[in-house]
Amino acid sequence: MPATRYRLSWFEYARSQPGVILHYLRLVFWPQPLVLDYSWPPAQTVGDILPGAIVVAGLLAATGYAFWKWPAWGLLGAWFFLLLAPTSSVMPLADLAVEHRMYLPLAAIAVVVVLGAYAVSGALALSRAAQGNGSRLPAGQCWSRAGHPHLAAKQRLPR
């Protein structure tokens, strides 16, 4: 079956992209179905456009806030949107959705997931140590506390 191609204006293309971006983000975490040619229909109604536009606007706002408050995290969000922008903005291309457009932006999402998991695991280890379960600390954290000469000297000082 041949793929359906749409001749779209820049506005029709741009209003369809928030839904496509949400689809890309869903595929990052649940990659099914992977399709060679989506033949994605252009968004026509407010119901097609508004949910994706609200979520993408929220992600852009969160990126801006993170860039102001925590620049390293904000840079990852900016990296995602800036890499996706040439193919998901107002320059109409033949296809509305093609998975290979997410190859480079996917790296930013992978870094966020890995660093977020690392931060959460470190926070869990520290909360266990605060509860008195120091034996459950990862080996690297136990060594850094016991083997650091300044910390060891401070622990020997009388209070």
pLDDT for 88-122, tens place per residue?
Answer: 877 788 888 888 889 999 999 999 999 988 888 88
Reduced to 3 states, what is the DSSP secondary structure of residue 127?
Answer: helix
Mean pLDDT check: name the lowest of 7-21, 46-60, 116-130: 116-130
Contact by Cβ (8 Å): 81, 60: yes
Give which of 104, 98, 108 is closest to 34, Cα–Cα.
98
Gap between the Cα atoms of 10 and 31, Å rounded: 28
Region 130-150: what's the mean pLDDT?
A: 53
